[in-house]
């Protein structure tokens, strides 16, 4: 029970065999255990017999398989099952709690601005009578009433809905990036209009007339804005990625960090770069032949330089080479080698 001091303030459930019969309330061991449990606000929840043993011609019943807890209010039930393990019955308890699973998508609350809601709100505003507001002598009071009514019916016609935000949407465009994208689209539409005028004319893209010159100027203007937009977008993505990694590092979310890195590098964990091999085409003889001929074939592809071959770099046959000859290994040579080892090495005496 001394270890229970470390569990104060926590929910504890003990299940097991304690060899103290819970039916013998006058027994000294039971009283000691009961007082210890009460000092830690714990109770024993099993009341029926959990063990039936035969002694001679008699059967003894005892409750020694118990469930002890300090959170009995979270229990739905606690009972003895009919399944036996030896001469012991199994016990079980059902708890009432919810396991919070991390959401796979981030949820965002927004107003539902679909086309039907917008049309309904327009119809309501068209039929609204603003005469009392126009005839009001207090302008401030009229503005407050108008604002309250608009906010009220705005929430009525455009209710809040929850949408899922995919985890791959790390890129959150800044105001500068949105403005650059808007300007790029505007200049692209301008270039399309100028190009259409050139196609409608009979100059056949002469590059001399006023229409062709205006089309070229519109293209140059769009191209500069496109390059600037790409620069701003890349810088914005880089900044968002750094902020995302910092926030996940502060939470020690290693799994999230690797996900962000994979999304940023456009790499997939399921990518298999190894080529597929048809098992029917595997031939052991061809494979051995390939490795036997790989040396000469590569040597034939290496160009000669001043008629120097790789053999010129090998030692001459007159030099001592350990692989020229093999000496017979005897038991005496092995014993002499072992005897020559230092005594401080990790070897046995025999």
pLDDT in tens, 255-274: 888 888 887 776 555 555 55
CA-to-CA distance for 180 and 227, rounded, in angstroms? 10
Structure tokens, 139:
């302008």
Least confident of 56-60, 97-101, 332-336: 97-101
> How do the residues of the chain divide into helix, strand and coil, expressed in percent and rounded to 5?
50, 15, 35
Residue with tokens 């031939």, as numbered in its chain: 283
CA-to-CA distance for 137 and 142, rounded, in angstroms? 8
Higher pLDDT, 107 or 103: 107
The average pLDDT across 68-77 equals: 83
Least confident of 42-56, 72-86, 168-182: 168-182
CA-to-CA distance for 50 and 150, rounded, in angstroms? 69
To which H or E segment does residue 297 belong? helix 284-301
Least confident of 26-30, 69-73, 161-165, 185-189: 161-165
Q: What are phi and psi of 55, to 5 degrees?
A: -120, 105
CA-to-CA distance for 44 and 72, rounded, in angstroms? 9
Residues making up the chain, counted from first to last: 350
CA-CA distances (angstroms) from residue 167 to 141, 154, 174, 329?
Answer: 46, 30, 18, 67
Structure tokens, 140:
């401030």
Structure tokens, 118:
């917008």
Radius of gyration of the chain (CA): 43
Confidence category of residue 226, pLDDT binned at 50, 70, 90: very high
Higher pLDDT, 306 or 233: 233
Q: What angle do CA 44, 48, 53 make, to 5 degrees?
A: 115
Which is nearest to 61 in space by CA: 97, 22, 90, 100? 22
Q: What angle do CA 222, 227, 233 make, to 5 degrees?
A: 120
Can you give the pLDDT at residue 23? 85
Can you give the pLDDT at residue 339? 81
Which 3 state secondary structure label does DSSP give 165? Answer: strand
In the chain, what is the straight-line distance between the N-terminal and C-terminal CA atoms, in Å?
A: 52
Confidence category of residue 350, pLDDT binned at 50, 70, 90: very low
**Helices and strands, counts by H and E, the chain:** 9, 9
């Amino acid at each position: 029970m001394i270890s229970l001091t470390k569990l104060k303030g926590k929910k504890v459930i003990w299940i097991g065999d304690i060899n103290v019969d819970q039916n013998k309330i006058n027994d000294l061991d039971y009283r000691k255990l009961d007082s210890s449990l009460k000092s830690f606000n714990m109770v024993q929840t099993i009341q029926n017999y959990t063990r039936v043993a035969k002694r001679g011609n008699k059967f003894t019943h005892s409750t020694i398989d118990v469930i002890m807890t300090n959170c009995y209010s979270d229990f739905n039930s606690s009972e003895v099952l009919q399944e036996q393990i030896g001469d012991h019955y199994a016990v079980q308890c059902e708890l009432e709690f919810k396991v919070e699973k991390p959401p796979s998508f981030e949820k965002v609350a927004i107003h539902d601005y679909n086309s039907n809601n917008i049309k309904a709100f327009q119809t309501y505003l068209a039929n609204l009578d603003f005469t009392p507001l126009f005839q009001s002598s207090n302008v401030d009071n009229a503005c407050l009433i108008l604002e309250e009514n608009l906010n009220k019916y705005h929430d009525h016609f455009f209710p809040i809905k929850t949408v899922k935000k995919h985890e791959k949407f790390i890129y959150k465009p800044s105001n500068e990036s949105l403005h650059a994208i808007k300007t790029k689209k505007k200049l692209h539409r301008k270039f399309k209009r100028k190009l259409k005028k050139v196609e409608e004319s009979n100059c056949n893209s002469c590059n001399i007339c006023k229409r062709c010159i205006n089309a070229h100027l519109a293209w140059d203007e769009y191209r500069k804005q496109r390059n600037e937009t790409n620069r701003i977008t890349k810088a914005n993505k880089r900044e968002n990625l750094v902020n995302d990694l910092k926030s996940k590092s502060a939470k020690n979310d290693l799994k999230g960090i690797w996900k962000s890195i994979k999304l940023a590098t456009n790499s997939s964990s399921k990518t298999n770069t190894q080529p597929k091999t048809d098992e029917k085409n595997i031939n052991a003889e061809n494979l051995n032949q390939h490795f036997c001929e790989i040396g000469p074939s590569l040597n034939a592809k290496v160009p000669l330089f001043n008629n120097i071959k790789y053999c010129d770099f090998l030692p001459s046959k007159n030099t001592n080479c350990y692989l020229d000859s093999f000496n017979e290994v005897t038991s005496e040579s092995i014993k002499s080698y072992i005897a020559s080892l230092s005594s401080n090495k990790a070897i046995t005496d025999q």
